[in-house]
């Protein structure tokens, strides 16, 4: 008779518990998949609507404005002649910071940052819009001269 000894149930449970703790420590992330999808959706929506603003200016032959409010988390597309074309509110958990877009207003409209497209499709200025949610960051960059939009 050999004196072989197997693993007890308690030893097996202890090993599994230790492995579970180690795996949870390794894969800790501050951002949830929901945060990521909300942020991606907002970034893509804003980029497409900036492109839409440029196309409206070219097709309709008038100046169009893409205005984004950094405090109230909304943006709108408008023209001087036709008024507001589209207005969208972003998720409350998204924070917006902007570098380089115009800030022509004062008073209650001072939080609006403006990207103006001429009828030729050229932007008045360029800049970067940064969106943050749950530890994740994405940037939308409007290029000099062409107004081309890229997501980073």
CATH number at residue 107: 3.55.40.10
Considering the domain boundaries, does residue 3 fall inside one?
A: no
Considering the domain boundaries, does residue 17 fall inside one?
A: no
The residue behind tokens 């209650």 is 108
Domain that residue 128 falls in: 33-151
Structural domains of the chain, count: 1
Show pLDDT as tens, one digit a residue, over the chain (152 residues): 556 677 788 889 999 999 988 887 776 655 677 889 999 999 999 999 999 999 999 999 999 999 999 899 999 999 988 889 999 999 989 999 999 888 888 887 788 899 999 999 999 888 999 999 988 999 999 988 888 899 98
pTM tops 0.85, yes or no: no
Nearest to 36 by CA among 133, 130, 128: 133
* Residue 130 burial (10 A CB sphere; 0-12, 13-18, 19+): middle
Considering the domain boundaries, does residue 50 fall inside one?
A: yes
Considering the domain boundaries, does residue 4 fall inside one?
A: no
């Amino acid at each position: 008779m050999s004196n072989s000894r197997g693993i007890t149930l308690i030893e097996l449970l202890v090993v599994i518990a230790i492995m579970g703790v180690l795996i949870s420590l390794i894969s800790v992330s501050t951002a949830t998949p929901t945060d990521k999808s909300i942020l991606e959706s907002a970034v893509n929506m804003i980029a497409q609507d900036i492109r839409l603003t440029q196309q409206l200016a070219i097709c309709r032959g008038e100046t169009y404005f893409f205005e984004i409010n950094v405090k109230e988390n909304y943006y709108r597309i408008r023209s001087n002649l036709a008024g507001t074309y589209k207005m969208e509110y972003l998720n409350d958990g998204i924070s917006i910071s902007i570098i380089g877009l115009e800030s022509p207003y004062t008073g209650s409209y001072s939080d609006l940052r403006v990207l103006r497209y001429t009828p030729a499709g050229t932007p008045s200025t360029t800049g970067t819009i940064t969106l943050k949610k749950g530890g994740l960051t994405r940037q939308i960059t409007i290029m000099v001269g062409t107004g081309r939009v890229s997501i980073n």
